Structure 1
Amino acid sequence: MGNLVDNKFTWTIKNFSSLGSEKVCSDQFVIGGCKWELLAYPKGDDKVGYLCLCLAVTESESRPCGWRRHAKFSFTLVNQHSEKLSRKTETRLWFDEEGPIWGFSDIILLTKLHERDRGFLVNRELKITVEIDVLEVIGRLDESEESEEGTTQPLKKIKKDNDGIFSSEVNGFLVLPSQAESVKRIFEKHPNMALNCRAKNQYLRTLCMNALLNLIQTMCQSLQELSIDDLSQADDTLTYLKNSGFKVDWLERKLEEVKEKKMEKEIGETRMQELEEELKGFREKYSDTEALLEDLKQKCSNTEALLKIEEAKLFAAKAPPLTLSDVL
C-alpha cells in the first residue's frame, strides 16, 4: 500500500513482522517523469541482520540503450511514536542499465527494528517514505508522465531534444517539466535576468539554468543542513552565472543574507558552547564551595559545643575560696 504526494511516496508494509519472503516490492509510482518502485529485504541482503531498502527504475530491461536517470533520493524509516526519532538516509547517483537499482543495506538492525517500544513497527506495520528529486534524464520520460504534463500544463511547449529528453521551453530555456513551474516563477519575478546570457547553445543554456536552480535549492535549505562548503560552492556558482551574463544581483543579496545568518548561527552556537562549559565550571566550583561551607558549619557547631563544656569547667573552678571551717 502506498501514498504519493508531490515527490514523496510513503509505503506501508502490513504484517511486516510475519513476512516470510526474502524481498517485498511496493506498487509502481511516478516521480519526475520516471517510474519507480521500492524494494525491501526483511531478512537483510548484503549485511545479514540489517534491514535493506532499495529504489529501482521499473521496466529497465525494455528501456532504450543508453538511458540514464540522475536522482537525489532519501529513505525515511518512519517512527510512528515520534517523528524526531525517524531515521533518514540520503544519497545522489545515476540509475542506468548497468545499475537500475540502488539502496542501503544497513538501514537499521533488525533486532532494534522489531523491539516493541522502538516505534518503527506498530500493529505489525512498517512505514517507509522515499523522497526523489530527478536532476537529469537521458532517454525518454515515461509515457504516463508525458501525457500528465501535457494535460496539466497546456501553456508550456513540450519539446524533445536529440537525446530523446522531453523538456519544457520557458523564456528560451529548455528545462525538465518538473522544473518548468519554478523557472516560470523566477522569470515572472526577474524578467530581465537572462537578457545578456552569453550562452547561445541550448545545452550550455540548460547548464546555466540548472546551476541557477541548484543554487536556489541550496539557499532554501535550513541553516542546520547548510554547510560552509555548500556556501562556498554557492559563491562559485553565482560567479559562474554572472560570468555567463545572468543578472543575479538579487540572488547575490539573498546569498549574502544566508551567509550572514549562517555565520551568526555558527558564532552563536560556539558562544553557547563556551558559556555552557563556563557555567559547568562555575556549578562545579559552587558545589565544591557548598560542601566546604557545610564542613565549616559542622566544625563551628562542634567547636561551640566544646566551648560550652570548657565554660562549665571554668565556672566550676571559680567557686568561693575555702574557709577555715572547710579546711578543718
Structure 2
Amino acid sequence: MVNQESKRFCWVVKDLRCESCCSVPIQIGDANWRLVANPNGNRDAGNFSLFLEAITEPLPCGWRRYVECGFTIVNHLREAHTVHKKGWRWFDKNTKICGFRDMVPLSRLTPINGGFLLNGEITIIAEVGVLEVIDTLSTPQVENSEQRAHDDSSSSEDVQNKDDVTIEVNGFQVLVSQVDEVKALFEKHPDLAQGFSLKNQHIKNAYMNALLDLIKTLCKASKELCVEDLKKADDTLSDLIKAGWNLEWLRKKLDQALEKQVEYDARIRELEKQVKKRKLALEEIETDLEKEKAAASASLMSLD
C-alpha cells in the first residue's frame, strides 16, 4: 500500500547576509521538514544554496521515504526569470538533507533591479511530496530482540525490493501509482520509446516523468490553461521527440489544443473589447440622461 502526502508552502528569506538560515518546520507525513538556505553559498561560493531537511528526531527504526521536491525562487518583475528546480531523493536515517548548492547565482539574485529582491527579501515556494510504502503482506513484528536487530540491519536495497517501491514497465522504473498509466501508454502506443536508447536509469525515469507531466497538463480543462502553458508543453514535447520518443500522436493533439486556445484567447479579447466599448457607450448615455434631467429641472424652476 502506498501513502503519499504533498504540501506546498512559502518561505520569505529576510536576511541575505547570514551564512545559513532555516524555515519554520512543517509536518508532511510522519516527519517534520524544513528548508535550509545558504545565502552566501557556503561551500559553493557564488551561488545561493537551498536544501530540504528532515528534522524529526528520533526517526522510527527502518524509516525510509521517497521524496520529490520542487523549489521556486520568485522574480517579482519578470515571471519568465523566476527560477524553478526539481529533484528527488531517498531519505533515511543516514540521508536527511538534499537540495541544490547552485540554486541560483548570487550575481543574478542580489541586484536591486533584478526582480528577486522585494524590500531586501526573497520569496521561495516549495512543493514537497513524501511517499511512504507500507508492506501489508509483511509478517507480524517479532518481540525477540535478536530478530529485531537482524531486521534493522537490512540494506537499503533490500528494503526497496521488499517494499516494491518501483516496478519495471518496458525498461522504465516507475512508481506504483504510475504503473497503470504507463502500461496503458505502451499498450496504446507500443513504439512509444522505440528510438529512445539511453541506458542511465535515472535519466530514463526523468524523461518518463516529463512525459507523464506533459500528458497531465494537456488533460486539464481549457479554462485552466493559457497559451503560455501550451507553449511550455510544446517545448517539453520537442525535447522528448528529439530524444527519440515517438510522440507524433501527442504532437497533433498539442497543435490542435494550441490552435483552439489561440482562437479562444482571441475571441475572449474581442469580446472584452466589445464589452469595454459598450460600457463607454452606456456611460455616455447615462451622462446625457443626467444632463437632460438637469435641463428639465431648470426649465420647471424658471416656469415657477
TM-score norm. by structure 1 comes to: 0.48
CA contact (8 A) 2:6 2:129 kept: no
- 1:188 match: 187
2:275 partner letter: E
- 1:57 match: 29
Aligned to 2:133, the other structure's residue is in SS state: coil
Asked if residue 233 in structure 1 is aligned to residue 232 in structure 2, the reply is yes
Q: What CA deviation, in whole Å up to 9, does each residue of 1:188-216 have, x standing for no partner?
A: 22122212212233333222211110110
- 2:67 match: 69
Deviation at 1:251, TM superposition (A): 0.6
Distance 2:270 2:289 in 1: 28
CA contact (8 A) 1:37 1:56 kept: yes
Aligned to 2:185, the other structure's residue is in SS state: helix
- 2:201 match: 202
Distance 1:259 1:57 in 2: 38
Q: 1:199 to 1:35 in 2, by over 3 A?
A: closer
- 1:142 match: 134
| Alpha-carbon RMSD | 4.2
Deviation at 1:243, TM superposition (A): 1.4
1:142 partner letter: I
CA contact (8 A) 2:165 2:175 kept: yes
Q: 1:208 to 1:182 in 2, by over 3 A?
A: same
Deviation at 1:179, TM superposition (A): 0.4
Deviation at 1:67, TM superposition (A): 4.1
Structure with max Cα Rg: 1
The within-5 A match list for 1:65-214 is 67-70=65-68, 98=96, 141-144=133-136, 164=160, 166-214=165-213
- 2:15 match: none
The within-5 A match list for 1:246-265 is 246-265=245-264
Distance 1:185 1:220 in 2: 15
Higher normalized contact order (CA 8 Å, seq sep 6+, divided by chain length) = 2
Deviation at 1:297, TM superposition (A): 5.2
- 2:18 match: none
Distance 1:278 1:161 in 2: 68
- 1:222 match: 221
TM-score norm. by structure 2 comes to: 0.51
Aligned to 1:280, the other structure's residue is in SS state: helix
- 1:266 match: 265
Deviation at 1:302, TM superposition (A): 8.1
Deviation at 1:143, TM superposition (A): 1.9
CA contact (8 A) 1:70 1:93 kept: yes
- 1:275 match: 274
CA contact (8 A) 1:187 1:193 kept: yes
Aligned to 1:143, the other structure's residue is in SS state: coil
Distance 1:215 1:255 in 2: 10
Q: Which runs of 5+ in 1 are unaligned?
A: 1-29, 39-51, 73-91, 100-132, 148-159, 307-328
Q: What CA deviation, in whole Å up to 9, does each residue of 1:206-239 have, x standing for no partner?
A: 2221111011011112233324443233122111
2:67 partner letter: R
Q: Which runs of 5+ in 2 are unaligned?
A: 8-23, 32-55, 71-85, 98-126, 140-155
1:230 partner letter: D
Distance 1:169 1:196 in 2: 19
CA contact (8 A) 1:36 1:58 kept: no
Q: 1:94 to 1:171 in 2, by over 3 A?
A: closer
Distance 1:207 1:183 in 2: 14
Deviation at 1:255, TM superposition (A): 1.1
1:69 partner letter: V
